[in-house]
Amino acid sequence: MPPGTSAPVAHPSSAEARQTRPAEHPPVRSGRIGVLLVNLGTPDATDYRSMRRYLAEFLSDRRVIEVPRAIWFPLLYGIILNRRPQRVGKAYEQIWNRERDESFLRTFTRNQSEKLATALGDHPQVVVDWAMRYGTPPISERLDALQAAGCERILLFPLYPQYAAATTATVNDQAFRHLMTMRWQPALRTVPPYHDDPVYIEAIATSIETHLAALDWQPEKIIASFHGIPKSYFEKGDPYYCHCQKTGRLLRQRLGMGEERLMVTFQSRFGREEWLQPYTDKTIEALARAGTRRVAVINPGFVSDCLETLEEIAGEAAEIFTENGGEKFSHIPCLNDDPAGMRVIETVVRRELQGWI
């Protein structure tokens, strides 16, 4: 049956299948194409139990924590999951979307899915959905839902411009792990990183220009702050650092700025190991101490604003800057579900669907 037709059809039509098929075989929907947007995840609520459930799932992922389990689990269950849920729950509370009683990451991801569905209205056989790698809705549930809706082909979109094993690969792993349980699998394509895609670079560069144009002051430094990973992951061959640096270089080229004006830094350290450097918080502190008075920070690696951008940068980093002598600090929002952000998502999706639509 050609893509584009979504009427229910019968099961395999070979002679053998006809012979063994029950008389009352249920109709099977087919002919559709699914697009599943997946972001990292988020707790369902900010209370201790919800936070603990979320962090336990997240921090038990071998792609995230590469320390052997015999060493890691006693630390995770003996120390980290006792104290961290409460502390991080308080941080989430500060940035909670009270209107919808959920985190902004969930709100933006849902909005992106709905807006992408509208943008792809010229292809009625395409069904768009969203999921979270940790927490709800899980990838397995949404893959099942897409299949039940007749999607024989699914494009899986881990919402990370820069590839990291701890983010992109774990989304792909989780999807394929679920496919392992299926007798009749859909065809699955995964979206590659798009850290150097001209549409993405243009969208981030324009968001910097638009944001700066609206300020009544100009930053001496613009900091492009990416989520970090342990340095050892980079040394084992993760391309993440290089992807971030390339994004930074292309942004500088497009904006006509040098390395002294637009810096690349890494935030959100976790644990005692060395992470990718330079660290965002240390850089901001050192800049303020050395006399820089005005900075703007952007998070090009985050498709949506979340705890790491709203609390750690717009909140904590701003505080570090002013406490050390800085005067003006501005956080440039992520692309979220703004038209420019949706243009990036739509462009990547249309490209990766080629041959299917």
Ligand X SMILES: C=CC1=C(C)c2cc3[nH]c(cc4nc(cc5[nH]c(cc1n2)c(C)c5CCC(=O)O)C(CCC(=O)O)=C4C)c(C)c3C=C
How big is the site for ligand X, counted in residues (CB under 6 A)? 25
Min. distance of Cβ 141 from ligand X in angstroms?
A: 18
Please pick, from the candidates 152, 281, 312, 352, the single residue that binds Fe ion as defined by CB under 5 A.
Answer: 312
- For tokens 């944001």, name the residue: 211
Q: Which does 105 bind (CB under 5 to 8 A by kind): Fe ion, ligand X, none?
A: ligand X
Tell me whether residue 40 or residue 344 sits nearer to ligand X (CB atom).
40
Please pick, from the candidates 146, 164, 191, 298, the single residue that binds ligand X as defined by CB under 6 A.
Answer: 164
Please pick, from the candidates 193, 301, 326, 341, the single residue that binds ligand X as defined by CB under 6 A.
Answer: 301
- The site string for ligand X over 67-96 (x = CB under 6 A, - otherwise) reads -----------------x---x--------
DSSP state of 346: H
Annotated binding-site residue numbers: 227, 308
> Long-range CB contacts (< 8 A, 24+ apart) of 228-231?
228/266, 228/267, 228/268, 228/269, 228/275, 228/276, 228/279, 229/164, 229/166, 229/266, 229/275, 229/276, 230/66, 230/271, 230/273, 230/274, 230/275, 230/276, 231/273, 231/274, 231/275, 231/276, 231/277
Stretch touching ligand X by CB under 6 A, among 161-169, 182-190, 287-295, 346-354 = 161-169
Min. distance of Cβ 269 from Fe ion in angstroms?
A: 8
Tell me whether residue 209 or residue 274 sits nearer to ligand X (CB atom).
274
- CA separation for the pair 157, 178 (Å, rounded): 16
SS (H, E, C) 264-328: EEEECCCCCCCECCCEHHHHHHHHHHCCCCEEEEECCCCCCCCHHHHHHHHHHHHHHHHHCCCCE
Stretch touching ligand X by CB under 6 A, among 56-64, 122-130, 178-186, 339-347 = 56-64
- Under the criterion CB under 5 A, does residue 268 sit at the interface with Fe ion? yes
Min. distance of Cβ 28 from ligand X in angstroms?
A: 37
Tell me whether residue 305 or residue 312 sits nearer to Fe ion (CB atom).
312
- CA separation for the pair 225, 220 (Å, rounded): 16
Gyration radius of the chain over CA positions: 22
Contacts of 43 (CB under 8 A, 6+ apart): 50, 51, 53, 54, 55, 89, 92, 103, 135
Stretch touching ligand X by CB under 6 A, among 11-19, 178-186, 200-208, 299-307 = 299-307
Q: Which does 65 bind (CB under 5 to 8 A by kind): ligand X, Fe ion, none?
A: ligand X
Min. distance of Cβ 188 from ligand X in angstroms?
A: 22
Please pick, from the candidates 35, 38, 64, 317, the single residue that binds ligand X as defined by CB under 6 A.
Answer: 64
Give the angle 268-257-249 at the CA atoms, nearest 5°: 55
Tell me whether residue 83 or residue 183 sits nearer to ligand X (CB atom).
83
The two structure tokens encoding residue 341? 């952000």
Annotated binding-site residue numbers for Fe(2+): 227, 308
Stretch touching ligand X by CB under 6 A, among 146-154, 177-185, 306-314, 327-335 = 306-314
The residues pairing with 267 across neighbouring beta strands, listed in sequence order, are: 227
Q: Using alpha carbons, select from 172, 219, 189, 211 the residue that is nearest to residue 33.
A: 189
Q: Which residues in this chain contact ligand X in the complex, by CB under 6 A?
A: 40, 42, 55, 58-59, 64-65, 84, 88, 103, 105, 160, 164, 166-167, 227, 229, 240, 268, 270, 301-302, 306-308
